[in-house]
């Protein structure tokens, strides 16, 4: 039997607890295989469960069930719906507990009885033939309850819809995976890099090489239908628009498209208003989805429009830039710019699906690609020293965009971002760590009218400033500061001499969103892989560091 894996979700529970229905929906959401053990037994034997019991006896059925469940628990990226009585067999309990995340779908006897009455047929029907079926359900359930209670997570389904049950399963799965050690390199079967689970939404993040051709299929698997309203910019659409539309139409989706000029200057309220007009003309409905095809600007703009039109349209992020794949598309931050600062007008609005085709990076302009590596390096610096070491070891392969190394780096970085977002959706605590380097970066961008620096270039300089402040405060060894500098420079990112006056940078920093009670909240480093938040950095420290960066 394989090791215990986060790529196996096993559903247990009494008859009519919803294991089959929940399993099918979960598998669709995750893009995994779904195996119903009872259905597998029927397929293998050519007999119904009733006939196996009647002709061959329960002992034979339990033997087949044991073999079928064991084989299912060897598979990867699978949702398994176990039979109601499977937990009674010690071998089955060992197979399930030893291979994956086990969830018990619980329901009161009265709920189960009413659900059975509502079913027209099926292997559970004999329960109703008892003279007192409710008493029989109580007896059987009581005898199995200690086994059901051995699950990793229990969902009480009585008053929940199927979708709500699925959300609860995924919430538990996320918490369980966190305790099992989130490893960016682990479980790299299939294209689902990770699952974001927040209080408002859950969605898979798919990362792979050449995924754009299956985009339509992935959207349908996520349960989205209706019209796909594709929003893109002129540059990206000229490269990928036809392929995306062909994939969407091939999956049976109706498709509209709207193309806007590239560049941060497009990300305004005026553009959003024109997109509202377009959606009105197209008679967009709440069941439709907006497909954001592009880099961070398109992701922000399309996400903001999706969040605010009809009080919320389904959103699918298809990032085409590196910063989009590892950062902007994950976490639900959407916004347009204000003349005084970036992203001042926006909302937290989670997508239903993120599909990152790493092969798209091969058409990205070199400067934009280099800029994106700053966010990747940032993730290692603030949360994962092992990942930082991976980047140091493989930087040459990554600069050449070798498929295996690049896909691994993007996946690993996406997992780190997803983990933080799942813990802190609205940036009230731990998510603030993702702002490492961004205080100085946003000051630089605003002071230069968002025209001189790409975002990642400004972040690289900002991270060096934050590292220097960390060292000056006695938090970070000089060796770590130099390791950060060396890796950024190996990726071709700037680390100093930005040639901008200090005064306008400081003025812009004071307008930054990371201010609380007039004090800038600085994200600093204690070591590579460990960040902290401080609001006691003196203006003198900041001015001294900015002076050294000029």
Domain spans, the chain? 8-179, 192-413, 436-549
Catalytic, 435? Answer: yes
**Which candidate, 121, 213, 109, 103, places its Cα nearest to that of 166?**
103
Q: Which CATH architecture group holds 436-549?
A: Up-down Bundle (1.20)
Among the options 267, 352, 431, 514, which is catalytic? 431
Helix (H, G, I), strand (E, B) or coil at 4: coil
Of 84, 104, 107, the C-alpha closest to 159 is 107
Question: Is-catalytic flag, 159?
Answer: no
- Looking at the DSSP bridge assignments, the partners of residue 525 are 531
Catalytic site residue from 19, 264, 435, 457: 435
Percentage above 90 pLDDT, the chain: 69
User: For the chain, what is the mean pLDDT?
Assistant: 90
Choosing from 442, 471, 485, 514, the catalytic residue is: 442
| Rounded CA separation 254/250 (Å) | 10
Q: Per the structure block, which two tokens stand in for 331?
A: 């976490």
Residue 13 has pLDDT above 90, yes or no: yes
Quick check: is 427 catalytic? yes
> Residue range 177-183: average pLDDT?
60
> Would the CATH topology of 8-179 be identical to that of 436-549?
no
pTM over 0.85: no
* CATH class belonging to 8-179: alpha beta
Q: Does domain 192-413 have CATH number 3.40.50.1970?
A: yes
pLDDT at 515: 54
Q: How sure is the predictor about 496, in pLDDT bands with cuts at 50, 70 and 90?
A: confident
Residue 184 has a pLDDT of 40
The crossing angle, in degrees rounded to 10, of helices 58-72 and 90-97 is 10
Q: What dihedral do alpha carbons 56, 59, 64, 65 form, nearest 10°?
A: 130
Instruction: With beta carbons less than 8 A apart as the criterion, state whether 401 and 362 touch.
Output: yes
Q: How confident is the model at residue 381 (pLDDT cuts 50, 70, 90)?
A: very high
Within a 10 A sphere around the Cβ of 76, how many other Cβ atoms? 15
Selected catalytic residue, list 264, 375, 425, 457: 375
* DSSP class of 88: G
Q: What is the pLDDT of residues 395-454, one digit of tens each?
A: 999 999 999 999 999 999 999 999 899 888 888 888 899 999 999 998 888 888 878 899
Q: What pLDDT is attached to residue 474?
A: 95
Considering 3, 311, 428, 518, which one is annotated as catalytic?
A: 311
- pLDDT of residue 186 exceeding 80, the answer is no
18 phi, psi to nearest 5 deg: 100, 20
Position with higher pLDDT, 496 vs 516: 496
Q: Which of 218, 333, 342, 485 is catalytic?
A: 333
Which phi and psi angles does 9 have, rounded to 5°?
-115, 125
Instruction: Give 518's pLDDT tier (boundaries 50, 70, 90).
Output: low
- Asked about 438 being catalytic, the answer comes back as yes
242 is catalytic: no
Cβ-based burial of 7 (10 A; exposed 0-12, middle 13-18, buried ≥19)? buried
Separation of alpha carbons 225 and 314, rounded Å: 10
The whole-number pLDDT of residue 451 equals: 82
As given in the structure block, the two tokens for residue 419 are: 């983990």
Lowest-pLDDT choice from 188-202, 423-437, 505-519? 505-519
58 is catalytic: no
Confidence (pLDDT) at 58 = 85
Given the residues 177, 378, 417, 514, select the one marked as catalytic.
417
Q: Strand 33-36 relative to strand 8-12: parallel, antiparallel, unpaired? A: unpaired
More reliable by pLDDT, 82 or 58: 82
């Amino acid at each position: 039997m394989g090791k215990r894996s986060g790529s196996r979700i096993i559903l247990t529970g009494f008859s009519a607890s919803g294991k089959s229905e929940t399993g099918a929906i979960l598998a669709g959401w995750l893009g995994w295989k779904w195996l119903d053990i009872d259905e597998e037994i029927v397929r293998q034997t050519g007999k119904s469960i009733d006939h196996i019991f009647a002709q061959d006896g329960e002992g034979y059925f339990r033997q087949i069930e044991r073999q079928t469940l064991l084989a299912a628990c060897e598979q990867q990226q699978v949702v398994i719906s176990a039979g109601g009585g499977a937990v009674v067999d010690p071998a089955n309990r060992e197979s399930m507990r030893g291979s994956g995340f086990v969830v018990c779908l619980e329901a009161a006897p009265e709920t189960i009885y009413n659900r059975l009455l509502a079913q027209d047929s099926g292997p559970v029907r004999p329960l109703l033939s008892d003279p007192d079926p409710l008493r029989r359900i109580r007896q059987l359930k009581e005898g199995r309850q200690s086994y059901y209670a051995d699950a990793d997570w229990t969902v009480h389904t009585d008053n929940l819809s199927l979708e709500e049950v699925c959300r609860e399963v995924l919430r538990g799965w996320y918490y369980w995976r966190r305790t099992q050690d989130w490893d960016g390199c682990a479980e790299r079967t299939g294209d689902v890099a990770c699952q974001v689970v927040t209080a408002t939404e859950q969605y898979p993040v798919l990362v792979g090489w050449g995924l754009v051709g299956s985009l339509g299929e992935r959207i349908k698997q996520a349960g989205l239908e209706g019209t796909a309203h594709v929003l893109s910019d002129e540059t990206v659409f000229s490269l990928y628009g036809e392929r995306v539309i062909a994939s969407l139409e091939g999956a049976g989706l109706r498709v509209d498209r709207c193309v806007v000029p590239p560049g941060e200057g497009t990300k305004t309220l005026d553009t959003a208003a024109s997109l509202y007009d377009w959606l009105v003309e197209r008679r967009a409905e709440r069941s439709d989805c907006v497909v954001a095809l592009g880099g961070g600007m398109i992701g922000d703009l399309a996400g903001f429009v999706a969040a605010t039109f009809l009080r919320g349209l389904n959103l699918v992020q298809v990032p085409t830039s590196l910063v989009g794949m590892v950062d902007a598309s994950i976490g639900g931050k959407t916004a347009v710019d204000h003349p005084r600062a970036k992203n001042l007008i926006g909302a937290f609005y989670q997508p239903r699906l993120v599909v990152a085709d790493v092969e798209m990076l091969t058409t990205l302009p070199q400067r934009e690609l280099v800029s994106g590596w700053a966010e990747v390096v940032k993730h290692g610096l603030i949360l994962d020293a092992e990942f930082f070491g991976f980047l140091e070891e493989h930087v040459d392969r990554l600069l050449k965009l070798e498929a295996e190394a690049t896909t691994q780096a993007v996946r690993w970085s996406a997992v780190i971002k997803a983990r933080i977002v799942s813990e802190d959706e609205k940036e009230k605590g731990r998510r603030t760590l993702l702002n490492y380097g961004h205080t100085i970066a946003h000051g630089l961008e605003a002071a230069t009218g968002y025209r001189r620096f790409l975002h990642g270039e400004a972040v690289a300089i900002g991270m060096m400033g934050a590292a220097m402040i960390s060292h000056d405060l006695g938090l970070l060894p000089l060796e770590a500061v130099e390791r950060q500098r060396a890796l950024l420079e190996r990726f071709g990112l700037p680390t100093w001499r930005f040639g901008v006056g200090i005064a306008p940078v400081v003025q812009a920093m004071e307008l930054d969103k990371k201010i609380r009670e007039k004090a800038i909240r600085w994200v600093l480093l204690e070591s590579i892989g460990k960040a902290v938040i401080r609001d006691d950095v003196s203006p003198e420290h900041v001015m001294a560091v900015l002076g050294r960066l000029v």
